Amino acid sequence: MSSSVRSSPIRRLAEWDTARLDELASTHDTPLYVTDLERVRENYERMSGAFPDASVMYAAKANTAKAVLQTLAEAGAGIECASAGEVERALSAGCAPEKVQYTAVNPPEEDLDYAVSVSTEHPELTITAGAEDTISRLTERDFFGRLCLRVNPGVGAGHHEKVSTGANAKFGVPIDRAPSLLAEADEAGFEVVGIHAHAGSGIRGEDLSAHRELVSRMGDLAREVDVDLEFVDIGGGFGVPYRSEEESLDLTAVAETTREALGECEGTLVVEPGRYLVADAGVLLTRVNTVKPIGEERVVGVDAGMTTLARPALYDAYHEIRSVVSADRPDATATVAGPICESGDVFGTYELPAPERGDLLAVGNAGAYGYEMASQYNSRPRPATVVIDGERSAVDRRRETLGDMTRLEQEVAWL
């Protein structure tokens, strides 16, 4: 990869080394996720460079691969966790507890029990509460440690309505209730350290105005509260271009706008990128197994589907697909579909070199919310994942087997 590619704010699918992808697929079979750790570092360096005075917390839900968490922790990132399982992953990957933040959304009892038990051993852990009831549940567990309050600023944005969170009542306490709640928590003995909000996921273009408004409201709140805040967390959601004709985010301009919108206030600015750090660092490799001509078009069946990459079926999301073949063939219109017994199991319609059985296809921007959303629906095993770093490569998640489909099952023991 050339230095110009390494310094680019977006890595296009065409810039991947097709010979190497072909070799990885031949060695490890398909479907296969490939994550480039070098690119993860580059994306983090660009983010931290744009926000030099801020703390960068990686939103782990985008990609919890141990190698990814270790790479970002070693680069200096904190880890923002949405569940007890993500906290467990972060700590097992060697992330420092003081740089781990547990941001709960309606946390189950077991999650809170786990987080409180971790804080007993690691009091540096920060727990974010998004409801007054959650604070009460923490009190019942004798937790009075580092507490951050998630607020609902009444403004949201994102690439799809299902990922717009800033104005959704599910997330955070009403912003006008926040000052009194923070004061009450402080008086109750909590170590109140911050406030948090998040507009949504995949924010680009016109959505940036909503992001700016959220940041402005958080700045106003920080200046209003009567407790000393260690940080003001304005979430992440920074988007990346999924289509080749879309421009990359001007991160420097976004950072400048963010600082202007926040204004002068106590506490360190915290940003929580997820997708931005890992999306273009990953591709999904899949093999053509069926070609079905229908008139002038054709349905191309592949071994990856909605259980491998859920975003197209879940959000009508677009992912670029390219053929990893050296043959000189005319382009053909191809509807790329998976093996799942659902009409929604379709990646989309593409112009590809006339596909043939055995062809390898690469799906771009698969490093975020790819493997994380994979499932065993239709009793299909989840794929393997491979990480590359320079010339090195290694399997970091083995491919599931048919035996894994029943591994957790047991004979019913009637009482």
Q: Give the number of residues written for the chain.
A: 415
Kindly state whether residue 32 falls inside one of the protein's structural domains: no
Residue with tokens 């990922």: 163
234 and 160 in a common domain: yes
Kindly state whether residue 193 falls inside one of the protein's structural domains: yes
Tokens matching residue 169: 């009542």
269 and 284 in a common domain: no
Tokens matching residue 269: 């600015």
| Total of domains in the chain | 2
Mean pLDDT of the chain: 91
Kindly state whether residue 45 falls inside one of the protein's structural domains: no
- Residue 39: the pLDDT is 97
- Residue 239: the pLDDT is 84
368 and 395 in a common domain: yes
- Domain of 320, CATH number, reads 2.40.37.10
Instruction: Spell out the residues 6+ positions from residue 218 whose beta carbon is closer than 8 angstroms to its own.
Output: 151, 153, 195, 197, 232, 234, 262
Question: Using one digit for the tens of pLDDT, what is the confidence trace for 227-282?
Answer: 999 999 998 888 899 998 888 888 888 899 899 999 998 899 999 999 999 999 99
Kindly state whether residue 51 falls inside one of the protein's structural domains: no
Q: Is 95 a catalytic residue?
A: no
Tokens matching residue 389: 């770093």
Burial zone of 290 (CB within 10 Å; 0-12 exposed, 13-18 middle, 19+ buried): middle
Question: Using one digit for the tens of pLDDT, what is the confidence trace for 195-239?
Answer: 999 876 555 555 677 788 889 999 999 999 999 999 999 988 888
CA distances from 62 to 86, 122, 193, 342 (A): 11, 25, 25, 25
Kindly state whether residue 371 falls inside one of the protein's structural domains: yes
**Which phi and psi angles does 147 have, rounded to 5°?**
-120, 130
259 and 340 in a common domain: no
284 and 257 in a common domain: no
Under 8 Å between Cβ of 33 and 371: yes
Q: Which of 180, 162, 159, 158 is nearest to 170 (CA)?
A: 162
Last residue of a domain, one of 273, 305, 331: 273
Q: Which domain holds residue 303?
A: 280-406
Question: Using one digit for the tens of pLDDT, what is the confidence trace for 330-365?
Answer: 999 999 999 999 999 999 999 999 999 999 999 999
Average pLDDT for 180-188: 96
Average pLDDT for 145-174: 69
318 and 241 in a common domain: no
240 and 192 in a common domain: yes
Q: pLDDT tier at 170 (50, 70, 90 boundaries)?
A: confident
322 and 228 in a common domain: no
Under 8 Å between Cβ of 79 and 99: yes
Q: What percent of the chain has pLDDT over 70?
A: 93
Under 8 Å between Cβ of 184 and 196: no
Give the H/E segment covering residue 44: helix 37-50
- Domain of 125, CATH number, reads 3.20.20.10
- Residue 403: the pLDDT is 95
Question: Using one digit for the tens of pLDDT, what is the confidence trace for 92-113?
Answer: 999 999 999 999 889 999 999 9
Question: Using one digit for the tens of pLDDT, what is the confidence trace for 18-71?
Answer: 999 999 999 999 999 999 999 999 999 999 999 999 999 999 999 999 999 999
Last residue of a domain, one of 273, 307, 332: 273
- Residue 27: the pLDDT is 98
Q: pLDDT tier at 2 (50, 70, 90 boundaries)?
A: very low
292 and 248 in a common domain: no
Kindly state whether residue 65 falls inside one of the protein's structural domains: no
300 and 259 in a common domain: no
CA distances from 230 to 76, 148, 191, 368, 385 (A): 18, 10, 10, 29, 38
| Conformational region of residue 358, where left means phi above 0, alpha means psi within -120 to 50, and beta covers everything else | left
Last residue of a domain, one of 245, 273, 301: 273
Kindly state whether residue 85 falls inside one of the protein's structural domains: no
- Residue 119: the pLDDT is 96
132 and 262 in a common domain: yes
Give the H/E segment covering residue 178: helix 178-188
- Annotated catalytic residue: which of 81, 95, 148, 341? 341
Under 8 Å between Cβ of 70 and 99: no
With 60 as the cut, is the pLDDT of residue 414 above it?
yes
349 and 261 in a common domain: no
Kindly state whether residue 68 falls inside one of the protein's structural domains: no
